[in-house]
Amino acid sequence: GIQVEQSPPDLILQEGANSTLRCNFSDSVNNLQWFHQNPWGQLINLFYIPSGTKQNGRLSATTVATERYSLLYISSSQTTDSGVYFCAAVSGGGADGLTFGKGTHLIIQP
């Protein structure tokens, strides 16, 4: 099945800093999503982005499907941005579920 790798695994930043999280995937994708898992364990949908670029406030994402990677940008970080960010994908040939990366653990210090 598809492999999804995220980097970096951990990231510690000061409030106000910008960050870029990367997701590499091993096959063509029908679906690529970014999630934020908050301290209470809930998975919050950030972006559905199998290709192209999207923006939502301080967050934006770009997926270059032909090169099999996606980037999540966080600008002007706030402490509430802390948590784990997951990238997940459904491969082009599969009808099964999302394959998740191991996540990037982001800590924003005040």
Note the residues at the interface with other proteins (CB under 8 A).
30-31, 33, 35, 41-43, 45, 48, 50, 86, 88, 90, 94-98, 100-103
Q: Are 29 and 65 in contact (CB under 8 A)?
A: yes
As a residue count, the chain comes to 110
**Closest distance of CB 14 from other proteins, Å:** 27
Cβ nearer to other proteins, comparing 32 with 77: 32
Helix (H, G, I), strand (E, B) or coil at 67: helix
Nearest residue (CB) to other proteins, 95 versus 110: 95
Q: Which two tokens stand for residue 28?
A: 């063509």
Min dist CB 6 to other proteins, Å, is 10
Q: How far is the CB of 63 from other proteins (least distance, A)?
A: 13
Decide whether 83 or 101 has the Cβ nearer to other proteins: 101
Q: What SS3 class is residue 40?
A: coil
Which C-beta is closer to other proteins: that of 47 or that of 81?
Answer: 47
What is d(CA 95, CA 59) in angstroms, rounded to the nearest whole number?
Answer: 29
Q: Hey, how many other C-beta atoms are within 10 angstroms of the C-beta on 110?
A: 7
User: Shortest approach of other proteins to residue 15 CB, angstroms?
Assistant: 28
β-strand partners of 25: 4
